[in-house]
């Protein structure tokens, strides 16, 4: 009988702590994704400065997490940088995918980089993304050899959980890209 009571108490404690553990895991995914994006942006800037060549930074719009190859692209949730030389674009890194359920907010109030005035959406080109092929669209900007960008003004991208926004009180990471220097700053509650 005592053993059953101990097992019941352990089950109750596990049921009470699971939501908190789940919240911590989601926050960790968000922070990790934010660091990966900032690291990739910094690598792109450093490469443009050191190689004296422009670097294109792409933010990919991909299909939903549940149907990667069959559905139409709906959500920005990956990025990649390309070194541009005289003849072609050479990938600097593999694409960086946000872990499920983390995505870039497509609300231009939180991600001004995705507004039409900051960048234009481009259909897939000859580059094939692993797991998605050419089933994507993207927005891009250039980091020039001096470190400046082709952005008209500072731009922001915000990482958040899918189907939530910072206005709803959810956790988020906002990354600012300085248009004149290409440097990044991170804001996180």
Residue 80 tokens, joined: 């990649």
Answer for the pair 118, 106: CB distance below 8 angstroms, yes or no. no
In the chain, the number of structural domains is: 1
Q: Closest Cα to residue 55, out of 96, 93, 104?
A: 93
Structural domain boundaries enclosing 32: 2-187
What residue has token string 């189907």? 163
CATH at residue 94: 3.55.40.10
Q: Where are the alpha helices (DSSP H) in the chain?
A: 2-51
Query: Taking the model in full, what pTM does it have?
Result: 0.86
Q: 3-state class of 153 per DSSP?
A: coil
* pLDDT per residue of the chain (189 residues) written in tens, 0 to 9: 889 999 999 999 888 888 878 888 888 889 999 999 999 999 999 999 999 999 999 999 998 776 656 678 888 999 999 999 888 889 998 999 999 889 999 888 899 999 887 788 888 888 889 888 888 999 999 999 999 999 989 999 999 988 777 777 778 999 999 999 999 999 988
């Amino acid at each position: 009988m005592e053993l059953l009571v101990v097992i019941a108490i352990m089950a109750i404690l596990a049921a009470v702590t699971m939501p908190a553990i789940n919240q911590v895991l989601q926050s960790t995914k968000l922070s990790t994704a934010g660091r990966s994006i900032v690291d990739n942006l910094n690598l792109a800037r450093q490469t443009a400065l050191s190689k004296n060549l422009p670097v294109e930074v792409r933010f990919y719009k991909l299909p939903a997490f549940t149907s990667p190859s069959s559905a139409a692209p709906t959500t920005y949730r990956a990025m990649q940088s390309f070194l541009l030389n005289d003849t072609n674009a050479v990938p600097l890194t593999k694409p960086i995918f946000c872990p499920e359920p983390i995505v870039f907010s497509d609300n231009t109030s939180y991600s001004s980089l995705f507004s039409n005035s900051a960048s234009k959406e481009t259909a897939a080109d000859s580059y094939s993304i692993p797991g998605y092929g050419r089933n994507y669209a993207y927005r891009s900007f250039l980091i020039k050899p001096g470190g400046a960008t082709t952005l008209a003004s500072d731009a922001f991208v915000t990482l958040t959980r899918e189907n939530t926004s910072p206005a709803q009180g959810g956790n988020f990471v906002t990354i600012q890209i300085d248009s004149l220097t290409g440097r990044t700053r991170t804001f996180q509650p």
